[in-house]
Amino acid sequence: MIGDTTEAKGCRLKDPMDLFRSGQVVKICAPMVRYSKLAFRTLVRKYSCDLCYTPMIVAADFVRSAKARDSEFTTNKGDHPLIVQFAAKEAQVLCDAACIISPFADGIDLNCGCPQRWAMAEGYGACLINKPELVKDMVRQVRNQINNPKFSVSIKIRIHEDLKRTVDLCQKAEAAGVSWITVHGRSIAERHQPVHYDAIKTIKQSMSIPIVANGDIKTLKDAENVHHLTEADGVMVARGLLANPAMFAGYEETPVKCIQDWVDIALEHGTPFTCFHHHLMYMMERITSKQEKKVFNVLSSTSAVLDYLNDHYGV
């Protein structure tokens, strides 16, 4: 489950709340299916990312199956502070998953924001924003069953059409002991519509715990603007970091050094070719011509990719 287990057991767990106490805007790598795994987290941490999330893991599978634990979660001693995001709909299942993970991660996050049909059909993700009492119970039970006070318990939500309901949900979670709340400023039905940053600001002004803003942040300038618009304590970025993992360090586009770092990290971690290649396709999107993309995107082996990068970028 843990990669180098002895190394991971020697890891220094951190209190993620220290980041929010620093007074600086906390820069966060979002949970991304297939993409926010250990190798990519290692890369963005080199470029001023403060806090990383794992991809969403279904808690019931994780608790039930050693195979799921091995395939879904790897870490090492440099991978901190780290938040493991779970999809769950029963408090005890979430608690069991949190107990398994607590020696190796700094906190868990309950996914209350995923709008995908399969997740909603299973009772996971964004449908939980309509079950505030259940969310409250899940947060409280994890708080009660993990005896490390520095272990964070957060939630990631979408907003309701009626914002009063979202504020009510957040206040119930706060009363149950939630550490912070990440707000994706769209409703369940919204996909590419503008993000409601005003809603995030309203939530922030209604709470005394940290609030993280999420949605359509693609550059460091965007992150600064969203912070000013929302007064949020942190910003969480997904696609912006895929396109430019050095974004938080102030780069406008992916620098060649970052591509080199990705190659080194991915090879060291034994990253599967498809994942290795897809990350490069995202990272090089803004810096390659249409013709170059046609060539690069159909390469089918690590050696072909390495030859291409060497020929075109000296990597």
Q: Where in the chain is the domain with CATH 3.20.20.70?
A: 16-249
CA gap 32, 243 in Å, rounded: 13
Tell me the residue ranges of DSSP E strands in 101-180. 107-112, 152-158
Rounded to the nearest 5°, which phi and psi values hold at 248?
-65, -20
3-class DSSP state for residue 76?
coil
Whether 156 and 85 have beta carbons less than 8 Å apart is answered as: yes
Tell me: domain 16-249, CATH 3.30.470.10, correct? no
Ligand-binding annotation for 171, yes or no, is: no
Q: Residue 50 pLDDT more than 70?
A: yes
pLDDT tens for each residue of 226-248:
999 999 999 999 999 999 999 99
- Examine the pLDDT at 253 and tell me if it is beyond 90: yes
User: For the segment 115-137, what is each residue's pLDDT rounded down to a tens digit?
Assistant: 999 999 999 999 999 999 999 99
Question: With contact defined as beta carbons under 8 Å apart, do 211 and 173 qualify?
Answer: no
- Ligand-binding annotation for 315, yes or no, is no
- Between CA 97 and CA 57 the distance in angstroms is 10
Q: Is 260 annotated as a binding residue?
A: no
Q: What is the pTM of this model?
A: 0.95
211: which strand partners? 181
pLDDT digits (tens, 9 = 90+) for 262-305: 999 999 999 999 999 999 999 999 999 999 999 999 999 999 99
The answer to whether residue 138 scores a pLDDT higher than 90 is yes
Region 242-263: mean pLDDT is 97
Rg (CA), the chain: 19
Q: Which residues are catalytic?
A: 114
Phi, psi of 71 (to 5 degrees): -85, -25
Q: What percent of the chain has pLDDT over 90?
A: 95
184 labeled part of a ligand binding site: yes
Tell me the pLDDT band of 11, cut-offs 50, 70 and 90: low
Q: Is 117 annotated as contributing to ligand binding?
A: no
CA angle 140, 68, 146 (to 5 degrees): 25
Lookup: tokens for 122: 């299973």
For residue 3, pLDDT over 70 is answered with: no
Average pLDDT of every residue of the chain: 95
In angstroms, rounded to a whole number, what is the distance separating the alpha carbons of residues 211 and 194? 19
Residue 5 is predicted with a pLDDT of 42
61-73 pLDDT per residue, tens: 999 999 999 999 9
Q: Tokens 């599978």, residue? A: 61
Q: Is pLDDT above 90 for 154?
A: yes
* Other beta carbons within 10 Å of 251: 17
Closest to 133 (Cα-Cα) out of 165, 99, 180, 87: 165
CA distances (Å), 43 to each of 198, 236, 248, 314, in order?
32, 16, 12, 19
